[in-house]
Amino acid sequence: MITIRNISFCYPDGNRALNNVTIDVQKGSNVAVVGANGAGKSTLLALIVGLHNLMEGQIEIDGKAVGKGTLEEIRKKVGFVFQNPDDQLFMARVYDDITFGPRNFGYPPEKIKELADNALEIMKIGHLKDRAPHKLSGGEKRNVAIAAVLAMAPDVLLLDEPSSYLDPKSRRNFILAMEQLPHTKLIATHDLDLVLDLCDRVIIMNRGEVVADGAPRELFLNEKLMECSGLELPLSLQTRK
Amino acid sequence: MSKLTDSLNKIQSLEELSDGSTVLHRIHPMAKMITTIFFLVVVISFERHQISGLIPFFIYPILMMAIGEIPYKSVLSRLLIALPFSFFAGLSNPILDSETAFILTGIPVSYGLLSFLSILLKTVLTVMAVLIMVATTPMDQLARQLVRIRVPKIFVMQLMLTVRYLTILISEASSMMNAYHLRSVKQKGIALDHMGTFLGQLLLRSYGRAERVYLAMKCRGFDGDYHFARSHSARTSDLIFCFGLCTSFFIFRWCNLRLIIGRLFGQ
C-alpha cells in the first residue's frame, strides 16, 4: 500500500531530517512511527502527502509515485491529520470544516452530507457540528480534525500525534474508533501505550533513520534499543517487566 | 479574558447569529442580497437635503431585526464604529453651506446642516441593512451569491480567506499577549522596547501559521478554487420577500407618502 524507498530529506536550514529511509506498509495494517523529538516522524508523514519536495528516493501509494502530477490523486487516497488541530481547522463552523474536503473533491451534496454525518458519528461529535472550531477545547478540536479527514473517505490515514490534547476518555474513544476503521494507518506518536493498544507493528526512528522495525511489545522490551532511541518503556509494560 | 479574545468573540458573534432559524434566516441568500442592494441604492439616491424622505426607511431595519431576532445591541454597537467616519466627513457641511433652508420654531436650519444630517441618516440606514444581512446569512452563502452576481471569484475568495484568517491572527496575537503579560506582571501594555520584537514575532508566527493552514487545505483537496456550499433553491416566498420589499422601497422613494397620508386624513 505504502512503499517508501531510500528517501532522504534536508530542510532549507541544512537540518537533515531523514536519511535513507525505507519502509513498506501493507494494506489495512496499523503501523506506528515512534522516536524522540526531531527523529523525523512528522517529516516522513509530510513527505508521503507531498507537503515537501522529495530530494532522494521514491514514495509510492498503491503503486502510484508521489510527485507533482499525482498529488491530487494521492491526497484523495491519503488523509493527513496534522499535529496541531488549529493548523487544520479554519472554517466558521465545525460542519463546514468537515465538509471542506469532500466539497473540494466535487462530490454531490447528498454524498457530502452522508460522508460528514458518518465522520461525525465515528468520532462521536455530532453535538459539536454547529460550534465555532476556535471555541472548542483542545481535545474537541483534535476529534473534529480527525473527523474532517475521515469525511474525505481516504484509504490511508496518516496521524501525527493523534492522542495529544485528548483526555483519558477521549483517548480511549479515539482508540476504539480507530480499531473499527479498516483504513491503513501510519501513526507518528510519543504515546507508546497507544501503540501497544492499536498497532501491530512499530517503526523506531532516531536522527532521521529507521533503527528498528517489528512487533511493539518485542521492541519496547529491548531496553538498550529504547535508551539509544531516546525512548522509555511504556507505562503499561513497566509493572510486567 | 484578554481584550483581544474579547474582540475576537465580538467579531464572531455576528456570524454566529447567522446560524439562527427564524423566517428571515430561511429566506434565500440571493433574495436578501438583492433586497439589501436595492435598499442601499434607494437610500443613497436621495438628494443631499432630503431628510424627511429617509425617515420611513427606518421601518425596514427595525422590522428585520425583530423578525430575525437580532439583538439591537449587537447591531448598534457595530454602527457606532462606522458613524464617526461619516460624522467627520460631513462635519464641515454646516460651516461651508450656511444658507438658510427653513426656519424651525424660530431657529434657522441651514442647507449644510441638512446635508450633514442626511449623511448621518444614510450611514445609519445602509450600515444597519448590511449588518442585518450578515447577521442572518452565513458568510459562505453570501460569498456564493457574490460569485453568482459575477463578482470576480478571486476577490470573493480573498474576502473569505481574510475573514477566516482574522480569527487565526487574533488568536495568535492573544496567546502572545497572554504569555507576555504573565511574565511582566507590573506592565499594563507591551513596553515600547519590546514592541518591535513582539510585532516581528507575530508576523513570523502568523506567516508560519498561514503556511501550515494552507498546507492543511491542500491536503484536503484545495486547488485554489473555493467550493461554496449550495443553498436551497429559491421558493415563491423568497420571491415575494424580495419583490414585496423592493416595491415598498420604490414607493417610499418615489411616491410622496406624507402627501398621500395627509390627503387621506384630510378627507
Q: Domains of chain A by range and CATH?
A: 2-85+155-238 (3.40.50.300)
CB contact under 8 A, A92 and B15: yes
Q: What is the structure's pLDDT at B266? A: 66
In percent, the amount of chain A with pLDDT more than 90 equals 54
Confidence bin at A89 (pLDDT 50/70/90):
confident
Instruction: Report the residue from B217, B221, B229 with minimal CB separation from A76.
Output: B221
Q: What is the structure's pLDDT at B267? A: 58
A104-108, B2-6, B168-172: which has the minimum mean pLDDT? B2-6
Q: What is the structure's pLDDT at B197? A: 87
The dihedral through the CA atoms of B70, B59, B54, B134 has a sign that is: positive
Which residue has better confidence, A104 or B124?
B124
pLDDT > 60? residue A203 = yes
Query: For chains A and B, what is the number of CB pairs under 8 angstroms?
Result: 74
The chain A residue lying nearest B221, using CA atoms, is: A104
The chain A residue lying nearest B209, using CA atoms, is: A87
Residues of A in contact with B174 (CB under 8 A): none
CB contact under 8 A, A90 and B168: yes
Alpha-carbon distance A47 to A51, whole Å? 6
State mean pLDDT over B227-249. Answer: 87
Contacts of A163 (CB under 8 A, 6+ apart): A171, A174, A189, A191, A194
Which residue has better confidence, B167 or B46?
B46
Confidence bin at A144 (pLDDT 50/70/90):
very high
CB contact under 8 A, B12 and A88: no
Instruction: Quickly count: other Cβ atoms within 10 Å of residue B234's Cβ.
Output: 15
Q: What is the structure's pLDDT at A65? A: 92
CB contact under 8 A, B219 and A80: yes
The chain A residue lying nearest B215, using CA atoms, is: A51
Domain extents for chain B? Answer: 20-137+230-257
The chain B residue lying nearest A101, using CA atoms, is: B220
Grid cell of A174 as nine digits: 479515539
Q: What is the structure's pLDDT at A59? A: 94
Residues of A in contact with B12 (CB under 8 A): 92, 132, 134-135
CB contact under 8 A, A84 and B139: no
Residues of A in contact with B219 (CB under 8 A): 49, 51, 75, 79-80
pLDDT > 70? residue B1 = no
Instruction: Report the residue from A51, A106, A134 with minimal CB separation from B215.
Output: A51
pLDDT > 90? residue A128 = yes
Report helix, strand or coil for B220. Answer: coil
Confidence bin at A240 (pLDDT 50/70/90):
low
CB contact under 8 A, B230 and A134: no
Q: Are strands A78-81 and A156-160 parallel, antiparallel or unpaired?
A: parallel
Specify burial of residue A89 (Cβ count, 10 A radius: 0-12, 13-18, 19+).
buried
Residues of B in contact with A93 (CB under 8 A): 19, 138
Q: Residues A55, A18: contact at Cβ < 8 Å?
A: no
Instruction: Report the residue from B217, B221, B229 with minimal CB separation from A105.
Output: B221
The total number of residues shown for chain A amounts to 241
Closest CA to A161 of A241, A42, A23: A42
Ranges assigned E (strand) in A72-167: 78-81, 156-160
Q: What is the structure's pLDDT at A58? A: 93
Instruction: Quickly count: other Cβ atoms within 10 Å of residue B182's Cβ.
Output: 8
CB contact under 8 A, B209 and A87: yes
Interfacial residues of A (vs B; Cβ cutoff 8 Å): 49, 51, 72, 75-76, 79-80, 82, 84, 86-88, 90-93, 96, 99-101, 103-106, 109, 130, 132, 134-135, 148-149, 152
Distance from CA of B212 to the nearest CA of A (A): 6
State mean pLDDT over B107-124. Answer: 89
State mean pLDDT over A212-240. Answer: 85
CB contact under 8 A, B227 and A80: no
Interfacial residues of B (vs A; Cβ cutoff 8 Å): 8, 12, 15-16, 19, 138-140, 164-165, 167-168, 171, 209, 212-213, 215-223, 227-230
What contacts 24+ positions apart, CB below 8 Å, involve A62-66? A62/A1, A62/A155
Strand partners, A31: A186, A201
State mean pLDDT over B43-50. Answer: 88
State mean pLDDT over A16-29. Answer: 92
Q: What is the structure's pLDDT at B2? A: 60
A184-193, A216-225, B185-194, B256-265: which has the minimum mean pLDDT? B256-265
pLDDT > 60? residue A241 = no
CB contact under 8 A, A90 and B167: yes
Which residue has better confidence, B69 or B190?
B69
A37-46, A101-110, B185-194: which has the minimum mean pLDDT? B185-194
Distance from CA of B222 to the nearest CA of A (A): 6
